[in-house]
Amino acid sequence: MAPAPDRFTHFAAIDWSGAKGSRHKGIAVALCAVGSDAPVLIAPPGGASAWSRTAVLDWLLERREEPLLIGFDFSFSAPFVARGAHLPGETETPDARALWAYVDAHAADPDLGAAAFLEARRGRHFYLGAADGTKRDFLHWRVCEQRGDGTTKPSTVYDAIGAAQVAKASFAGMRLLHHLEGRIAVWPFDPIPDQGALVVEIYTAIAAHATGLRRGLSKLRDAAALDTALAALGSGPHAPLATYTDHATDALMTAAWLRHVVGDAGLWHPAAMTDAVAATEGWTFGVT
């Protein structure tokens, strides 16, 4: 069931990071309300120069009672359906929640990180370079990452090298999701609650495509391009930014996109998202 038209009054998009350390220039948090005012960037708390992952968790928990829809741009689970395990030969996690708990229990990285978790399993589950073998042997996709024409997303959670890699951010994100357990609902693992916040997985390229940007040319690096994209999503122009980073513009654009499409019932009920897929792999909101 899609949420009621007035279920959410605010929309946040969070550009996430799996980088080592405790302060991350790659994290950006954008927020908008119902209506047409442009999203705004939320500054890190306490005057910090950059967000930590833990600070993002705290920010979410402070707003858990609010009618807030939050999108994160990392994969909420690893592939399961095709091979019957998230980390074959290592885990017996029957669903994504169990995987989140496993990663959190076995990752010693600070600030909810997971880089060392991946490095300890390189060549077994994760590809971090040529020494690990043939890259294609590590490429496995979730159901929502496979299109009807047989093509797939550029990267998977097992590919931990290169600019397009999502592995480190995703496994760090799984730790955050574990810490949300019982406090903020996460779709599609939880039903849409009648009240309070809800977290969904996003892919910023989907939002970019909705604005008319072509695949491969989806990054917004100046004020005019950002305002054009926002206008396509029913949003007014943004307040000027000090710098136009991909992280900031992705978050702003995707917050506006969430507000624009939240009422599309088809996005909440993709045909290929069976109960088993939803429980073990999750789904990217916006994939149909």
Tell me the average pLDDT across 128-149.
90
Give strand pairing partners of 122: 126
The secondary element (H helix, E strand) that includes residue 227 is helix 223-232
For 177-218, write each residue's pLDDT tens digit: 999 999 999 999 999 999 999 999 999 999 999 998 866 555
166 and 260 Cβ atoms separated by less than 8 Å: no
Rounded to the nearest angstrom, the gap between the alpha carbon of residue 164 and the centroid of all alpha carbons in its chain is 14
- Its pTM stands at 0.95
Contacts of 4 (CB under 8 A, 6+ apart): none
Predicted pLDDT of residue 142:
96
Taking residues 20-39, report their average pLDDT: 96
- Tokens standing for residue 15: 């550009």
User: What is the spatial distance between Cα 178 and Cα 98, in angstroms, rounded to a whole number?
Assistant: 9
Question: What is the spatial distance between Cα 208 and Cα 258, in angstroms, rounded to a whole number?
Answer: 12
Give pLDDT tens digits for 118-132. 999 999 999 999 999
Q: Buried (b) or exposed (e) across 4-24, using 16+ Cβ within 10 A? A: eeebbebbbbbbbbbbeebbb
Return the closest-CA partner of residue 53 out of 19, 99, 78, 100.
Answer: 19
Residue 277: per-residue pLDDT: 98
CATH topology of domain 10-76+180-268: Nucleotidyltransferase; domain 5 (3.30.420)
How large is the average pLDDT for residues 251-273? 97
